[in-house]
Structures are given as structure tokens and as C-alpha cells.
Structure 1
Amino acid sequence: MSRFKNEVSRLEAHVKSLRVVLGILFVLAGAMGLGWWSAPRDLTVHVPPDLRSGSTRKWWEIPPETVYTFGFYIFQQLNRWPTNGEEDYARNLQQLRAYLTPKCQTLLQAEFEQRRLGGELRKRTRGVYEIPERGYGDDPGFRVKTLGRDAWIVNLDLTADEYFGSEKVKRALVRYPLHVVRMDVDPERNPFGLALNCYSGKPQRIAPATPTRSIATDLETDVDAEGEQP
């Protein structure tokens, strides 16, 4: 009889130890979940120059590749209308205010009202993307032109697609000469410290790339003010 009692006691002790282990695992899982939830969603990473090779950089100098990345990213987000241009474009103008100069904000708002009244936004979807082999790495000197310490021209060669429902109503290959300026006034909302000042010139149609054609001299005709400007 005592053998059975000992076996029962052993099993009860084993069950109790399993409950303790389960409780510890539950506490650990809760702690890891809390740490995951409280982890920062965005991290600012500073990449200093490699001083072993004698490289130095002025603190106020912004690399041209950063300027190009900023111009392309903000312009692409501004022209992304996933469901309805009448609502999406207005929302983009509001959400990206910190990345636009006051002058550009006013011009784009007026352009939005003009297109809305003309029926060019309702139920329209739109997206722009780089034309293959026409990105920054293909001709850095042409893609970003430095006007001074605080101003640049960014030449974007993009494909602009627009749809009305499921029907494609526009596809255009366009060169957008963006005017980018330094505007480090609100790091909380604009960590780039840059802003779009709209265009330095009129957007223009471009021809498809060919092996013998220079990307700097392949402009065809000025872009229709009504048809291809964002």
C-alpha cells in the first residue's frame, strides 16, 4: 500500500513542478511580449565617415544621394492614389505638409482644386515609379545638380500610370525637375531637414531609353500642363 502512496506523492510532486515551470514560462513570455511592444519602431542611425582612410565631411553637407532619395520618396508618396484621387491626393497634401515649402503647398493645393473641378481625380488611381536604367546610379551628376549649400535640382525620370476603375487612362514617361531646398525647421515631423519647392522648370515628356541616346538630351516635347503634371 505504501508503494502506491509513494507513487501518488511522486506524481503529485511532478505535476506541481510542471505547474511551476509553466508559470515561469508564462512570466517570461509576458516579459518578452512587453519588451517587444515597448521597442522603438524607428531608429536613427548615424553613419560617420571612415576616419581610417582620412575621410572628412562638413556637418552641414548633405550628400546628393540623400537629396535624390528624399525627392523621389516624397514625390512618389505625393502621387500615390490607391483608391480615389479626390480623397487620396487631398490626404497626401495634408500628411506631407512638413515636407513641402509653403509656396509649393499653395501651388499644389491650387492644382488639386483645379483638377478636382475638372473631374480629373474622382475614382482615379495613380502611381509613379522610376524608369529602369534611369535612376540615380546611372548618371549621378545629372540626377542631382547642386545650386548651393541649401538648394538642389533633382531630375526624376518616372513612369506615371493612372487608372479609372480597372481601365488604364494614362501612361506617361516624364522628367520631373524637382527643386529641393534645406528646411530644417521641424525635425520631429521632418527628419530629413529638406523640403520640396515644387519644380525648377516645366515637366517634360521623355523618349524610351536606347543604347545610343543620352539620358540628358532625350527630351521630346513639353508635358501638357493639364495632362501630365502631378
Structure 2
Amino acid sequence: MSRFRHAVKDRDQHIQTLRIACAVLAFFLLFTCAGWMLAPSKLTVHNPPDLRTGSTRPWWEVPPPTVYSFAFYIFQQLNAWPKNGEVDYSAKINALSPYLTPSCQDFLKADAKKRGDAGELTDRVRVVYEVPGRGYQSQSVTVQDRDHWIARLDVVADEYFHAEPVKRALVRYPLKVVRWEGDAERNPFGLALDCYAGVPQRLEAAPPAPKPEKSGVFQ
């Protein structure tokens, strides 16, 4: 009888051990499922423009050339007024709002209202482009930390009034760029402009804007 009692006891202990092992496995399974559900479904990886030499970097690091190209693209679009600055400026601010911080949107809207009230936007056509030979350089972007940068753009700003050139200026704009992980559908860059990091600086005197040529067809 003693032998049978020991056999039954060993069986019960083995079953208990198996139950504990199943409980541990179930816990790790639930833990793994929770981690899988909480993991991001998408990751934005910023690659430098030139990959001829390869690139190894943490996925969260944004290369300075990417910051510069983002800042220039958004800033150029903000200052592209194809028909009438009084309408185009506000429309561009609204269209590019996913790429602007809330404080920057408020600043630009106030600037548009101030310039509109002063009559500086009516029938104004504006275009901004890089100063030839002054594109991205190593000193064009200052890395403040992993989420904040300052991009310096050397651009030419041309303005026209009813096709008549009225202004050409060479200006260096220091722009704040921040990491902006929000709506990836509306802002796939994961970055946003936070407006100016300082007072824009006038560069050397710009040549006069070219006057449009007259023809017999377009007067």
C-alpha cells in the first residue's frame, strides 16, 4: 500500500508542477501579446540624401540634411503666393498647418493679419528660392538635442505687384524645427516648423529684380 500511496503522491506533484508551468507560460504569452499590441505599427526612418557610403544610425535620429530640406520645403511653400498674397498667404498657412506648431500658426496668422491691414498683401505675388551656391552646408543646421534643431536658410525673396517687380531681398532665416509625432497621414515627415529662432538677417545687396519683357501679344 505504501508503494501505491507514493505513486499517487508523485503523480499529484507532477500534475501540480505541470499546472504551474502552464500558468507561467500563459503569463508570458499574455505579456508578449500585450507588448505586440502596444508596439507601433509604423516607424519613420530618416535616411540621409547620399547613401553611396551607406548609413548606420538609430532609427529615431534625424540627419541634419533632412532637417534642412524639410525646413526649406515648408518655408518655400509658405511664401509661394501665385496670385494674391492677401488670399494666398492665409490659405498656405491653413494648408500647411500639419507641419506647423500651434504657436507658429498663431504667429503666422497674426503676421498675415498685420500685413493685410497695412495693405502689404493685396495683389502681391511672392516667390522664395535658395541663393545660388548657398544650399545645405554642415553649418546650415545646429542640433540642439534629439528633438530640436535650428536651420539657417539663405534665400532670395522676390515680390511683384501686378507683374511689376517691387522687391528683391537676400535674407538668412533662422528657423526652429521640432520633432512632431502626430498624425502620420497628414504629416509623414514627423517634423514641424516652430517659426523663427531669431531675427532674419539681410545678406549682401541683391541685384534688381528682372523686369518682364513686353511683347506684341501680352501687354
Q: What's the TM-score, normalizing by structure 1? A: 0.66
**Which residue pairs with 2:87 in the alignment?**
87
Mapped to 2, the partners of 1:75 and 1:96 lie a distance apart of 10
Q: Please report how far the alpha carbon of residue 47 of structure 1 lies from its aligned counterpart in structure 2 after TM superposition.
A: 5.9
Contact 2:172 2:203 in 1 (8 A): yes
Q: Please report how far the alpha carbon of residue 56 of structure 1 lies from its aligned counterpart in structure 2 after TM superposition.
A: 2.2
RMSD of Structure 2 on Structure 1 (CA): 2.6
**Which residue pairs with 1:213 in the alignment?**
none
Mapped to 1, the partners of 2:82 and 2:54 lie a distance apart of 47
Matched, 1:179 2:176: yes
Mapped to 1, the partners of 2:108 and 2:123 lie a distance apart of 19
CA deviations 1:10-57 (Å, max 9, x no partner) are: xxxxxxxxxxxxxxxxxxxxxxxxxxxxxxxxxx99869xxxx88521
Q: Which of 149, 152, 158 matches 2:149? A: 152
Mapped to 2, the partners of 1:77 and 1:84 lie a distance apart of 14
- Secondary structure of 2:112's counterpart equals helix
Q: Please report how far the alpha carbon of residue 110 of structure 1 lies from its aligned counterpart in structure 2 after TM superposition.
A: 0.3
Matched, 1:111 2:118: no
Q: Please report how far the alpha carbon of residue 208 of structure 1 lies from its aligned counterpart in structure 2 after TM superposition.
A: 5.9
- Secondary structure of 1:82's counterpart equals coil
Mapped to 2, the partners of 1:63 and 1:47 lie a distance apart of 7
Give aligned pairs, total.
162
- Secondary structure of 1:185's counterpart equals coil
Share of identical aligned residues, percent? 61
Matched, 1:77 2:74: no
**Which residue pairs with 1:161 in the alignment?**
158
**Which residue pairs with 1:170 in the alignment?**
167
Closer/same/farther in 2, CA of residues 55 and 87 from structure 1, 3 Å limit: closer
Q: How does 1:187-226 map to 2 (within 5 A)?
A: 187-207=184-204
Mapped to 1, the partners of 2:123 and 2:45 lie a distance apart of 40
**Which residue pairs with 2:99 in the alignment?**
99
Q: Which runs of 5+ in 1 are unaligned?
A: 1-43, 210-230
CA deviations 1:119-151 (Å, max 9, x no partner) are: 000100000000011100xxx221111011001
Q: Which runs of 4+ in 1 moved over 4 A?
A: 44-48
Contact 2:157 2:170 in 1 (8 A): yes
**Which residue pairs with 2:59 in the alignment?**
59
The amino acid that maps onto 1:170 is K
Higher Rg: 2
Q: Please report how far the alpha carbon of residue 75 of structure 1 lies from its aligned counterpart in structure 2 after TM superposition.
A: 0.2
**Which residue pairs with 1:123 in the alignment?**
123
Q: Which runs of 5+ in 2 are unaligned?
A: 1-43, 207-219
**Which residue pairs with 1:35 in the alignment?**
none
